[in-house]
Structure 1
C-alpha cells in the first residue's frame, strides 16, 4: 500500500511538472479596427483585418481592457510609459504592444485611445468574439505571447493592476527565446 501511494504521488508530481512546462497556445485572434499607416508599419501588417500571428514580432505584450474599467484608466499612463521604454530597449522591433478593447465598439476604442493618448494600436471587440476566445477574462488582463513560433504561445497572464516589474518580465521572456 505504501509503495502504491508513493508511486501515485511521484506520478502526480511528474505530471504536474510536465503540465507546467508545456506551452499553452494562445488564440490566433482576428484583429480589426482603424489603423494609421504608422501603426501598420509598427505591426508589420498591410491588411485589415489580420491575424495575431501575422504581426511581425517575437514577443507581443497585450492589454485586454475596457473603456469603462477604472483600473484600465488608472493604468493607461503606465502602459504608455511601458510602450516607450520597450521601444527604447528593443530597437530591433522584436517586442510589440497592442490593446484589445474587450466588448468595446470602434467608437469606444477610439475614444479611449484619444482620451489617454495611447500610442500603440488598439483593436475593437464589439461582438465579444475576442473576449470569448480568451475565456472571458476580467479587465484588465495582461498577456505576454510569443508570436515567432508555429502558433502564438502564452508565456504570461495576469489580471488586475499592471505589475510594477512588467518591463523586466517582458525583457526576460524576450531574451529566453
Structure 2
C-alpha cells in the first residue's frame, strides 16, 4: 500500500461535511415548503458544521491509513433501475454477490465541489475498464451520501456517468463506511476471508485511469 495515495489529496480536494450539509439543505428546503424557518435553521446548522470541520480533519487524518488493509463491510445495495444494462442483479444484493473480484466504490455528494470535479475522470476510468476488457473483473460503483434519487439522476446526467450510482439519502451506507470525508474511493478485493479494503483514496481522484488500474494490479 502506498501511503502517499491516502494523504496527498487531503488538504485541497475533499469535503469533510458535504453529505451532512446536503442533508441540512434538503431539510431546510422541506421546512420552507411547510412555511417554517428552514433557511435560518439551515444556515445555523451549517455554520456549526463549518466550525467543527477543522477538528474533524485533524481527527480523521490518521484514521485514513488505518482503514486500508481492513475488512470491508458487505453492504447491501438496493435493486438498480438499470440493473440489466449495468450487469447487476435484478434485486437487492450484497457486494459479495457480485462477480467482479475488484470493486471500486466511490462515495460522493452532489454538494461536494471536488466530487463534481472528479466525476469526468471517474467516467473515463469506467470507460477504460470496458475498453481494456476488465469489466468481468473490475466494477466501479458510486454511493451518493445524503443525496436523494433526484440528485443522483442530476449528477449522472450532468457528468454522463455510465456506472451504477446509488442514492443514500439517510446516509446509512455512508455511516457503515466510517463517515469519512467525500470524495472517497475504496479499492475493495474479494478473497477467501471476505471483502478487504486494499486501498483508500480520500480526496479528488486525479490519477491517469490506466496507470491507476495498473497500480492496483489489475493490469500487467
Q: Same fold by TM (over 0.5)?
A: yes
1:128 corresponds, among 162, 171, 195, to: 171
Separation in structure 1 between the aligned mates of residue 134 and residue 175 of structure 2, nearest angstrom: 34
C-alpha spacing 1:174/1:90, structure 2 compared with 1 (3 Å): farther
Q: CA deviation at 1:165?
A: 4.5
Q: How many residues align?
A: 152
- Gaps spanning 5+ residues in structure 1: where? 1-19
Residue 113 of structure 1: SS of its match in structure 2? helix
Partner of 1:65: 108
Partner of 2:182: 139
Separation in structure 2 between the aligned mates of residue 116 and residue 33 of structure 1, nearest angstrom: 22
C-alpha spacing 1:174/1:104, structure 2 compared with 1 (3 Å): same
Partner of 1:50: 93
Q: Which moved more, 1:116-125 or 1:142-151?
A: 142-151
Separation in structure 2 between the aligned mates of residue 33 and residue 117 of structure 1, nearest angstrom: 21
Partner of 1:160: 203
TM-score by length of 2: 0.63
Separation in structure 1 between the aligned mates of residue 206 and residue 131 of structure 2, nearest angstrom: 20
Separation in structure 2 between the aligned mates of residue 61 and residue 139 of structure 1, nearest angstrom: 14
TM-score by length of 1: 0.77
Partner of 1:35: 81
Q: Which moved more, 1:149-158 or 1:118-127?
A: 149-158
Match status 1:115 vs 2:158? yes
Q: Deviations over 1:65-98 (max 9, x none)?
A: 0011111111111111111111112346101111
- Gaps spanning 5+ residues in structure 2: where? 1-65
Between Structure 1 and Structure 2, whose CA radius of gyration is higher? 1
Match status 1:26 vs 2:69? no
C-alpha contact (below 8 Å) 2:79/2:93 kept by paired residues = no
C-alpha contact (below 8 Å) 2:145/2:167 kept by paired residues = yes
Root mean square deviation, CA, Å: 2.2
